[in-house]
Amino acid sequence: MKPIRRILIASGIAIFTFLVIMGPLTYKTLVPALKNEFANHLISIREIKKLQIQNFFHERYGDIHILSKNPLVVQSLPRFANAFKSGGFDNSAYKQVDTYYGPLLEHFLRQHGYSNIFLIDIDGNVVFGVKRDEYIGTNLNTGEYSSFSIGELFKEGLNNAKFSDLTWCEESKDFILMERTWYMIRPTGF
């Protein structure tokens, strides 16, 4: 056999032996390292998502705080409530209050991406909504929605600033939690 051929065969055997021995050794050392790297990556992602969720809710509470302290909004609730009680949504007093305060709340709704904002008086009457949904003018204490999620949310909101992500579910005939529809209920100090 020629020396070049022997060198090639010997090199091939050496490379094959090296791969047979080093393959499992490399696998045994790399797999735990890769698992550890993936676990660390998932932990990092979890922490980032946790912070994003916390920031999201912190911003929503901030939105409620801003609205509840805004003098125009504070003035608007009793005016909407009085105008509503004196003649409903179609009377001139209500339309005048809506013309004055409605654009502010509509602007806030658009700027923050909410689906609707409601003002509810202490008696549970939904006296204002930027968008005229089916529960505008209903009573959340005694009306048809009192036992629904929005009615329960209102009752909880009497004691605390409360918000929830609700939308109508036709199958259950109730509100369910969904994305980006925030109903804000403010306690009596509103």
Q: Is residue 104 domain-shared with residue 153, that is, in the same domain?
A: yes
Range of the domain at 190: 71-190
pLDDT band for 97, please (50, 70, 90 cuts).
very high
Amino acid 13 reads: I
Q: Which residue has the higher pLDDT, 3 or 162?
A: 3
pLDDT of residue 161: 63
CA distance 26 to 21: 9
Supply 36's token pair. 């550890």
Q: Is residue 13 domain-shared with residue 61, that is, in the same domain?
A: yes
Q: Is residue 52 domain-shared with residue 76, that is, in the same domain?
A: no
Is residue 148 within 8 A of residue 174, CB to CB? The reply is yes
Q: Is residue 186 domain-shared with residue 140, that is, in the same domain?
A: yes
Q: Which residue has the higher pLDDT, 79 or 116?
A: 79
pLDDT of residue 93: 94
Per-residue pLDDT tens over the stretch 125-160: 999 999 888 888 999 889 888 887 778 878 877 777
CA distance 21 to 28: 11
Q: Is residue 34 domain-shared with residue 91, that is, in the same domain?
A: no
Q: Is residue 64 domain-shared with residue 75, that is, in the same domain?
A: no
Check pLDDT > 70 for residue 187. Answer: no
SS (H, E, C) 85-132: HHHCCCCHHHHHHHHHHHHHHHHHHHHHCCCCCEEECCCCEEEEECCC
- The pTM of the full predicted model, rounded to 2 decimals, is 0.63
If one counts the domains in the chain, the total is 2
Q: Is residue 186 domain-shared with residue 124, that is, in the same domain?
A: yes
Q: Is residue 151 domain-shared with residue 186, that is, in the same domain?
A: yes
Check pLDDT > 70 for residue 109. Answer: yes
